[in-house]
Amino acid sequence: MLEWNGEGGKTYFYQSEYPYDVDHDYADSGSASYKVGDNVKTHEAWGVGVYSFFEYNEVNMESSIKAPSNEGVKFHNSLSVFLNGYGSIRHIVNEEGGGV
């Protein structure tokens, strides 16, 4: 998974899948597929997609993308997709956006 800690970062396409074979405790780790560091003031991303296929265990991730909530950090056309399996992704960015 990705963690971006630099200022002024730009991502134009990002696609990832959570690991298939994790147990339900994986959601408690607080991880996200795409994370912008808490101290970052400017970052912008387009086309960030995060997919889940928790094959063996029910894993319910809170958010697929986590980032500071300030006007310099922006996401465009981000999505989460449930491919198959068990569990869910409850939100897309910072506990906002519909779940899958």
Question: Does the annotation count 95 as an active-site position?
Answer: no
List beta partners, residue 79.
49
Q: Which of 17, 58, 95, 96 is flagged as catalytic?
A: 17
Which residues are catalytic, by number?
A: 17
